[in-house]
Structure 1
Amino acid sequence: MATVDRISYEHDHGSPPIPVTSTQGHDNMHPKKQVTFGQGTIVLFDEVEEYVTERLRKTSISDNVDDTPPIAPEDTYHLCSEYNENEQPGSRVRFCQIGSQPGELHNATDVGIMGNGDLVVTDMICNKLKLFTSYGVVGTVYAADEVSEPWGTTDIGTEKIAVTSRRSQSVVIMCKTWGNVVRRFGHGFFKSPCGITTVGDNAVIVTDDVANRVSVHDVTGGKVVAYIGQQLQFKNPRYVAVSANGNIIVSDSGNHSIKVFDRNRNFVRSFGKYGRDDGCFKFPHGVCTDNRNNILVADQYNNRVSVFDELGRFSCHIVTSVHGVYHPHGVALTSDLRLCITVGDMTPNRLLIYQLERIETGTGES
C-alpha cells in the first residue's frame, strides 16, 4: 500500500517556509502514513489528512552566507497524506523487469521539465530519455546510439532538447518530435558532463564533475561563451539551475555546498557544509528554484530535499526518508507546484511526484 502526500508551504512577501514536525516523532505515525515502493515504481502524491507538528530546532548553517541570519523568516508548513489508487488512475505504475517497459527506470540521474509541462527523465544505464506527464503517466521514449549514458537534459525551445552524454563526453542536441540527433558538441572539451540548464535564448550551462568546471556554451555551434566560478575550487559540481531573477545555482557536491552566481556570472555566495544539521549537506545533487527564487536542493546522503531562500538561509526539509525519499538525485518543480524527484536505494530507479501548495500568510485559505 503506497501513500500519497500533499505538502503545503506558506510564504509572506516572498519568504520561504519553515517546517513543523510531529510532536510524537515520525516513527510513531499511523501505519497508513507509511510509504512502500518497489523497483521501477512511479508514484503520484496527493492530499487528504493533515497532522500538525512542532517546529524543528533552529540551527546555524555555514558561516559563509554573507552575514545573513541562518534561518529564513518564519512561515507555516503543513503535511497532509492519503492515497486512493482507484481514484488516481495512472498515478502509480509498476513494471515487471528492469528496462522491459517504456516507463521503467533503471538509473534516473535527472528529471527536467519540457516547455509543455511534461517531464523528461534521463535513464543513464538504459541510454534513454523517457517522458511522463506530471501525473506520472508514461509517454514517449527517446533512444539514440549517439546518446550514451545521458545524465542531464534541458529544453532549449524550437522543438529541441540538449542532453549531456557521459560516455561520449559531449552535449547532444535532439529533436523533440522525432528523437533524432541534430548535432553535438564538446567532445575533447568535457571529461564528464552531467548537469545542464538553459540560460538566455541560445546558451546552456554545463557542469563537469571530473574537470571540476562549469561552462557556458552557445547551443548553435557549441562554442564556449564563458566559464563560471573560475576563481573558486569546485569539487564534483553536479547539477545547475537558473532562478527567476537570473541567479545561477550550482551544487558543489564534493564541497557539500551550494554556490550562487548572479546573471553576469559573478560569485554571490556559498552556503552549506558537511553534516546532518539543518542547512548542512552530504553530497548535494539536484537543484531547482520556484518563482520566488527559493532554492530546493536534493541532499543525497541525508535522504531529503531542503528549501532555502535566495539568500541561502535554511527554511525546511520539504520531504525526507519518512516520505519515501532515499538518495535523491534529480529534482524539478513544475509551474503547478508538482515536486518531481528521482530516488532509489542503490540507484535512482523511481520517480516520485509530490503536490505542493502555498498558503498565503494572513489569508486563512489554502
Structure 2
Amino acid sequence: MLKKRKLLDSFFLKELEDEEATLHSLDQEWKLSGIRQIFFNRLIGEVGTLGCEPGQLIWPSSVTLTPTGDLVVKDSGNDRIQVFSPEGLQKHSFSYESGPVKCLGDIKATRDGRLLVTNGDKAVKVFTGEGRLIHQLTTPNVNYFYGLAVLPSDEVAVTDWSGGGKVHFMSVDWKERKILKMDVIEGFYRPTCMAVSKDEDILVTEGQLFGPHVGRCIKIIGKERVTQKKIGPIYGSNFDFMNPSGICVDENGNILVADKGQNCVVMFNPDLSLTAIVVKQDLQGPCGLCLTQQGYLAVADCYHHNVKIYQYR
C-alpha cells in the first residue's frame, strides 16, 4: 500500500532522509498561527484503484474510521461500501440502494461500530460492521439525507437540502430502532458534510455543486443549536473557498477542509485562523476526509478513484 514519495518542505528546502526523526522535530518547531503556504504533500499511501472488483473503487465520495481502525469507503460509483484494514487490505464489501444522484451522501461509524449510510434519499441506513442492514431511520420531516455527524451523546446530525438547506438533530433509541426527538436548524444552502469539534460544535460545509455561486463556506452550530460563526467564502486576501466538501477535526482541534473545486485540503486552527494549505497536489475532486489511528489524513479522491493517505503535519 505504502509508496515512498519526496517531501517538499517550504521551510527547510531539503529532502529528508531520516523521515520519522525529522518529522518529529518539525512538529516541535511549527507554530500554528498566521497565514502560511505549506506544500507538505507527503503522500504515504493509496487505497484502491479504478474498477468494479473487490478493493477497486469508482467515485469514492466519503470515508470514515471504525473503532477498530478499519477504513470504510463509500464507493459511490459501485453503490457499495468497502471496508479496508489499517494496512489498506480489502476485508469485505456490501451493497446499498443507489440514490437519486451518485457521489452524494455520507458514511459515518458510531462508537459501537454501526455504520450509518445516506445516499440522498429519505432514510439513514444502519448497518452492522459486517454489512448487515439492521434498520432505517426515517421521518416525514426530512426529504433528503446527505451529510452525517455522530455526536458524543450518540445523537445523529444530518443535512437536508429541502427548503434551501437544513440540519436536523436526531435523538435515537438504538435498541428500539426509532427516532425519539428531532430538532431542526434552517438557514443553509445545500449543506454537504459535517464534523464535530472538540467543543462539540457542529461544522457544516456548504458546497457549490450546481446553480448560482452561493454557499462556499463553513457554518458553525454551537451547543445551543444556533449558527454562531461562518468561515468564507472569502478568507481575507489569502484564500477563497470554491467548493468546500469534506471536513474533519484532528486531536489538537485543528479543522481540515477539502475544497473540491480547488483540489486541495486546508487547515484552520481551533480559533478559526487559517494555518496552511496542507495538501495541494495529487488530488482530483477530494470529497470525504477522516483521520486514521496513526494520525494520518485519509482523503476520498473521487476522480482518481482511490483514497489517499497523507502525513499532513
TM-score by length of 2: 0.79
Structure 1 pair 314/144, CA: closer, same or farther in 2 (3 Å)? closer
Q: Deviations over 1:258-287 (max 9, x none)?
A: 111222323221011158963320010000
Q: Deviations over 1:212-244 (max 9, x none)?
A: 11111123313442123x3xx311100000012
Which structure has the larger Rg over C-alpha atoms? Answer: 1
1:130 to 2:88 alignment: no
Residues 130, 141 of structure 1: 8 Å contact kept: yes
Query: In the alignment, what sits opposite 2:200?
Result: 246
Structure 1 pair 235/348, CA: closer, same or farther in 2 (3 Å)? farther
Query: In the alignment, what sits opposite 2:295?
Result: 337
Residues 144, 180 of structure 1: 8 Å contact kept: no
Which amino acid in structure 2 is aligned with residue 280 of structure 1? D
Residues 74, 107 of structure 2: 8 Å contact kept: yes
**What is the distance in 1 between the residues matched to 2:8 and 2:179?**
40
Q: Deviations over 1:18-74 (max 9, x none)?
A: xx4798xxxxx99xxxxxxxxxxxxxxx95898xxxxxxxxxxxxxxxxxxxx9347
**What is the distance in 2 between the residues matched to 1:124 and 1:78?**
29
Query: In the alignment, what sits opposite 1:352?
Result: 308
Q: Equivalent residues in 2 for 1:56-71 (5 A)?
A: none
The structure 2 residue matched to 1:165, chosen from 119, 131, 147, is 119
Residues 6, 48 of structure 1: 8 Å contact kept: no
Which amino acid in structure 2 is aligned with residue 341 of structure 1? V
The structure 1 residue matched to 2:179, chosen from 222, 242, 245, is 222
The structure 1 residue matched to 2:188, chosen from 228, 231, 234, is 234
Q: After the TM superposition, which of the residue ranges 217-226 and 192-201 deviates more from structure 2?
A: 217-226
Q: Equivalent residues in 2 for 1:280-291 (5 A)?
A: 280-291=240-251
Query: In the alignment, what sits opposite 2:29?
Result: none
Query: In the alignment, what sits opposite 2:144?
Result: 192
Secondary structure class of the residue paired with 1:125? helix
Residues 6, 355 of structure 1: 8 Å contact kept: no
1:261 to 2:261 alignment: no
Which amino acid in structure 2 is aligned with residue 222 of structure 1? I
The structure 1 residue matched to 2:253, chosen from 293, 297, 304, is 293
Structure 1 pair 159/294, CA: closer, same or farther in 2 (3 Å)? closer
**What is the distance in 2 between the residues matched to 1:81 and 1:306?**
14
The structure 2 residue matched to 1:176, chosen from 129, 132, 135, is 129
Structure 1 pair 191/205, CA: closer, same or farther in 2 (3 Å)? same
**What is the distance in 2 between the residues matched to 1:274 and 1:151?**
26
**What is the distance in 2 between the residues matched to 1:342 and 1:241?**
15
**What is the distance in 2 between the residues matched to 1:136 and 1:121?**
11
Which amino acid in structure 2 is aligned with residue 336 of structure 1? Q
Structure 1 pair 94/238, CA: closer, same or farther in 2 (3 Å)? closer
**What is the distance in 2 between the residues matched to 1:171 and 1:136?**
27
State the shift of 1:349 in Å.
1.6
Residues 35, 276 of structure 2: 8 Å contact kept: no
Query: In the alignment, what sits opposite 1:309?
Result: 269
Which amino acid in structure 1 is aligned with residue 292 of structure 2? T
**What is the distance in 2 between the residues matched to 1:333 and 1:306?**
14
Residues 151, 165 of structure 1: 8 Å contact kept: yes
Unaligned runs of 5+ in 1: 9-19, 24-28, 31-45, 51-70, 84-90, 358-366
Q: Equivalent residues in 2 for 1:16-165 (5 A)?
A: 20=10, 47=19, 72-73=33-34, 79=40, 95=49, 98-99=51-52, 101-145=53-97, 151-165=105-119
Residues 40, 279 of structure 2: 8 Å contact kept: no
**What is the distance in 2 between the residues matched to 1:131 and 1:161?**
11
Residues 255, 267 of structure 2: 8 Å contact kept: yes
State the shift of 1:116 in Å.
1.1
Secondary structure class of the residue paired with 1:312? coil
State the shift of 1:248 in Å.
0.9
Residues 65, 71 of structure 2: 8 Å contact kept: yes
State the shift of 1:249 in Å.
0.4
Q: State the identity %.
A: 21
Secondary structure class of the residue paired with 1:79? coil
Unaligned runs of 5+ in 2: 23-31, 209-214
TM-score by length of 1: 0.68
Q: Deviations over 1:197-225 (max 9, x none)?
A: 10133311111235411111123313442
Aligned length: 290
**What is the distance in 2 between the residues matched to 1:276 and 1:109?**
29
Structure 1 pair 349/109, CA: closer, same or farther in 2 (3 Å)? same
Residues 109, 348 of structure 1: 8 Å contact kept: no
